[in-house]
């Protein structure tokens, strides 16, 4: 009983701490996330990122990067068909305003870091035609806004996670040409917005 009076201020402090942690993320956070991605690129034959992703200019001017006008944060990243080889660093999960991520038609490999689960605004995700391996993570089911998920032409193994059935806004799901096994989960029957693909790119 004697401890009760201390609880409300403690709660307030915790709330405040989590708020300030969220609100301190800014375009500098996005810059370090992208620089981390750049440092995980091991082959960039056309020197696209090497010369263009320079800290002397805002990330919003970098090739493949789009910023939102309202919050001045990175909202889209499109590195399609740049012949890049590399891996995805956990820091990419710091792009908290990212709505669209496409790195299709490259040679990204390795597995996907769980920190990507922080990209809760993601609507469009295209990892197609790379060399990713490992399982399709069950935390993909946390992308509540996701409308398109393209993972075709990779080396994903294991089963299709049943959590994908939580992606209630999903319209496009393309997984062909991986090393998946097992059955299509029953939960996918809940994806009432799913469309038959008209294009496979």
Under the rule (CB under 6 A), what is the footprint of ligand NAG? 24, 26-29, 32, 51-52, 54, 57, 61, 63, 81, 83, 90-91, 93-94, 105-106, 115, 129, 131, 141, 153, 155, 162-163, 165-166, 177, 186-187, 189-190
Burial class of 51 by CB neighbour count within 10 A (0 to 12, 13 to 18, 19+): exposed
Per the document, the length of the chain is 201
Token readout for 134 is: 């490992």
Smaller CB separation from ligand NAG, 10 or 155: 155
Report the relative pairing of strands 85-86 and 41-43 from DSSP bridges: antiparallel
Smaller CB separation from ligand NAG, 11 or 155: 155
Smaller CB separation from ligand NAG, 90 or 100: 90
Q: How far is the CB of 23 from ligand NAG (least distance, A)?
A: 9
What distances in angstroms separate CA 36 from CA 40, 53, 87, 99, one per listed residue? 6, 11, 10, 19
Q: How far is the CB of 179 from ligand NAG (least distance, A)?
A: 7
Smaller CB separation from ligand NAG, 123 or 133: 133
Residue pair 165/189 in contact (Cβ under 8 Å)? The answer is: yes
Q: How far is the CB of 64 from ligand NAG (least distance, A)?
A: 8
Q: How far is the CB of 12 from ligand NAG (least distance, A)?
A: 22
Report the relative pairing of strands 100-102 and 124-126 from DSSP bridges: parallel
């Amino acid at each position: 009983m004697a401890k009760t009076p201390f609880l409300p201020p403690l709660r307030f402090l915790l709330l405040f701490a989590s708020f300030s942690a969220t609100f301190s993320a800014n375009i500098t956070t996005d810059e370090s996330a992208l620089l981390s991605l750049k440092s995980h690129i091991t082959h960039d034959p056309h020197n696209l990122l090497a010369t263009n992703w320079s800290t002397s200019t805002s990330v919003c001017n970098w090739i493949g990067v789009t910023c939102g006008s309202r919050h001045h944060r990175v909202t889209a990243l499109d590195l399609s068909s740049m012949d890049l080889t590399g891996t995805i660093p956990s820091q990419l999960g710091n792009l908290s305003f990212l709505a669209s991520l496409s790195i299709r038609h490259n040679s990204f490999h390795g597995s996907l870091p769980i920190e990507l689960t922080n990209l809760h605004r993601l609507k469009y995700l295209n990892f197609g035609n790379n060399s990713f391996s490992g399982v399709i993570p069950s935390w993909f089911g946390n992308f509540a806004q996701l409308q398109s998920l393209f993972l075709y032409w990779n080396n994903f193994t294991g089963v299709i996670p049943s959590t994908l059935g939580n992606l209630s806004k999903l319209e496009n799901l393309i997984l062909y040409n991986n090393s998946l096994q097992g059955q299509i989960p029953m939960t996918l029957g809940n994806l009432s917005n799913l469309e038959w693909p008209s294009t496979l790119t």
